[in-house]
Structure formats: structure tokens, C-alpha cells
Amino acid sequence: AKAAGRNTMRFFDPSMQASIVARANLEHALHEGLRQNQFQICYQPQMDGSGRIVGAEALLRWWHPERGQVPPGEFIALAEETGLILPLGLWVLETTCAQLVEWSKQPRFAHLTIAVNVSIRQFRQPDFADQVLAILEKSGANPEKLKLELTESLLASDVEDINVKMSQLKAKGVRFALDDFGTGYSSLYYLKQLPLDQLKIDQSFVRDILIDPNDAAIAKMIIVLAQSMGLDVIAEGVESQAQKTFLQGLGCTNYQGYLFSEPVAKVQFEALFQG
């Protein structure tokens, strides 16, 4: 078996071998990171039309002792493949629920909602809704302040199953946003069947909205669709005042992006309220 293993190695592209090793190292590092508390949540403000901060999106950050800050784009996919997203996702929910409780005790922050990204793999767990409800209950967080961001890839699963889980959580007050709307394979047929609260206009439509009439048309379509379905709408990746003004003209009501703030640690997020 050993000889055969050695023989098959010859057919391996060395660069592929290197990437397999790199992956294995990263996977090991992810495990360690979870054990050694190398993860942190950053908060990016979500504003209403008048510029008031109404909530925050929780974005995961990984501080590795040697690698430095590893961006989510480099580890979320692997965490999903390996299943590590399950404990990691629970940690994110526990941490954000604890944050909600802390903010609920301070009048300045008590109105804030937190939006948490949920990977499909997490949502597909048969007891996903029970897990979230258990965390809410244990922490004492107000379910109405928790918003779960789902992506369109979810719609590849059984709509009935999605509906049961969403309804179970919605019955307690939890809200749902459809993230990166328009970038996947979403079908409007499914959209109307899900108990959603908010559509998120993907930053890929916002980036060139002032110069590309197609992006403007798509953003407008999403806003009109949200309005007519009684859903809230938020644009992400808003970097300039001109983009915000343009979106506002289309009827957009909520905004998130570098124009207001990057995702920042909790202390810096709280400092945004001082001014």
C-alpha cells in the first residue's frame, strides 16, 4: 500500500500537493484558533436614512499569532467544508447574544439589533432552530434584536424545511435578511414563500451604481420588490455620500458601508455614538 501510495504521488501536480498541505495546515490552525480564542467579532454599523445607527452586522475576524489577521474570505469556505463552521457559528451566536444583553442595559445602545451571518451548513442542521433558541434563552437576549442573514444558496434546499425552521424562530421574534440578494440563483417563486424581513442589496450592485445604468436598474428593482412585499431593504458596500443619496432617491431606507464605518471592534463601535 505504501509503494502504491508513492507511485500515485507521481501523478500529483506538485503545486496541488503544496496546496493540500497548505489546506491541512490551515485546517489545523483553525482548530487551534477556536481552542485558543483567536476569533473576534467586529461590528459594522447599519444606518437608517437619517444617519442614525440602528444596528450592526457581526463580522468574524481571526487573529492568528503568526499569520496575522486572516480575512474571512480565506477561512470561511474551509470552515464550512470541514464542519468547523458549526462550533464557530455557535460561538458567533453566543458572543453576539451576550453583546445584545450588555447593550440592552444601556439606554444609548438598547435599540440596537445585531445581524449574524449564518452559513447554509449551519442552517441545514436539523436542530438549528433549537440551537439558536437555546442560546437566546441561556443568554437572556431579546430575540427581536437578533437578525439572521441567509444567502440565496439556501434556496437549493427543501423550501418546506427552511420554512419550518424560519417560522420556529420567527415565532419568538427573530428576524431574517436575505444577504447578497441578486447574486445567486434566487427564484422569486421561493422568495415569496419565505418569511423574510429584509433584502440586502449586494455591494456588487452598489459599487458602480452611479456610472452603470444596469446596476442602478437592478438596485431599483430590488427596492421596489422589497417595498411591494412589505420588506425592509438595506444597501451594503456604500462608500460615498453620492451613492447613498442615489440609493435614497430610489427609495432605499437602510445603509451599511465604509462611508459610515468599517467593521470595528466593540469598543470602537460604541465610540461611534459619542460624537
Which residues of this protein are in contact with Ca ion, per CB under 5 A? 117, 149, 179-180, 202
> Could you give the CA distance from residue 92 to residue 34 in angstroms, rounded to a whole number?
11
> Could you give the CA distance from residue 142 to residue 145 in angstroms, rounded to a whole number?
6
> Could you give the CA distance from residue 29 to residue 75 in angstroms, rounded to a whole number?
10
Ordered alpha helix ranges (H), the chain:
2-10, 14-35, 72-82, 85-104, 120-124, 128-139, 159-170, 188-191, 203-206, 213-228, 241-249, 266-271
What character string, x for contact with ligand C2E (CB under 6 A) and - otherwise, covers 222-241?
--------------xxxx--
- Residue 186 binding: pick among ligand C2E, Ca ion, none (C-beta 5-8 Å cut-off by kind): none
Residue with Cβ nearer ligand C2E (37 or 228): 37
Residues near ligand C2E (CB under 6 A), total = 21
| Nearest-approach distance from CB 154 to Ca ion, in angstroms | 13
- Cell match 447578497: residue? 180
Cα 86 to the center of its chain, rounded Å: 14
Is there binding between residue 257 and ligand C2E (CB under 6 A)? yes
Is there binding between residue 33 and ligand C2E (CB under 6 A)? no
Q: What is the DSSP secondary structure assignment for residue 125, as one 8-state letter?
A: S
Binding to ligand C2E, residues 160-219 (CB under 6 A): 179-180, 203
| Nearest-approach distance from CB 211 to ligand C2E, in angstroms | 16
Binding to ligand C2E, residues 110-169 (CB under 6 A): 117, 119
9 class by beta-carbon count within 10 Å (0-12 exposed, 13-18 middle, 19+ buried):
exposed
Residue with Cβ nearer Ca ion (29 or 92): 92
| Nearest-approach distance from CB 237 to ligand C2E, in angstroms | 4
Q: Which stretch binds ligand C2E (CB under 6 A): 136-144, 185-193, 210-218, 255-263?
A: 255-263
Q: Are 48 and 54 in contact (CB under 8 A)?
A: yes
What is the contact surface with ligand C2E in residues (CB under 6 A)? 44, 59-60, 71-73, 76, 89, 92, 117, 119, 179-180, 203, 236-239, 257-258, 263
